[in-house]
Amino acid sequence: ITNVDGSQALYVFAIPTAGLFQVLPATFEAGMQYDLSVGIFGGGGNMPEGTTFLLGLSYLDGANLVPLATTTVTHSAAAFPTTTLFKDYSVYLPRVGEGDAWAGKNIGIQLIATSGTGVGYWDLDNVRLTATVVPEPGTWAMLGVGGALTAMAVRGVRSRR
């Protein structure tokens, strides 16, 4: 695979529940949105078409895993037309609110095979979790009103000339 980051990649057998679940020390923070991206190649070892893999963001509520956002990747020749490149897939969690049950909880990441017979494997590389600050909707509204008032003031100054 030509776009591997470094000299090795992770592979996960195509067996349901095989994979990685990790709870990070970082927590979901109010006002942030999260994006988990992974370079994936599906189809190693003659994996049958239709085999699936899950990317997920979650948290633990006591001992219970609570999924927040997931993306399912399905192996097919159309989805993976080349055997030499990882293709990026991602899962997106919109802005965390103050009252969300997961605000302040540790971030859980899932990279798990969800179907398969044990024939074949998924290659994974370049796992990235990004968090971006998102202003509250009221802040966006105030910026919009301020911009509109500024535009009207500029227009009024130009029309007096």
DSSP string, 90-148: EEEE-PPPTT-TTTTSEEEEEEEE-S--SSSEEEEEEEEEEEEE---HHHHHHHHHHHH
State the pLDDT at residue 144: 56
State the pLDDT at residue 83: 86
CA distance 116 to 50: 8
Tell me what the mean pLDDT of segment 99-106 comes to. Answer: 97
State the pLDDT at residue 153: 58
pLDDT tens digits, 4-42: 988 889 999 999 999 999 999 999 999 999 999 999 999
Q: How far is CA 126 from the centre of its chain?
A: 12
Q: How far is CA 2 from the centre of its chain?
A: 23
pTM: 0.82
CA distance 19 to 4: 19
Residue type, 12: V
State the pLDDT at residue 140: 43
CB 20, CB 38: distance < 8 Å: no
pLDDT tens digits, 63-94: 999 999 999 999 999 999 988 899 999 999 99
pLDDT tens digits, 134-152: 987 655 444 555 656 566 6
State the pLDDT at residue 7: 83
Tell me what the mean pLDDT of segment 44-63 comes to. Answer: 95
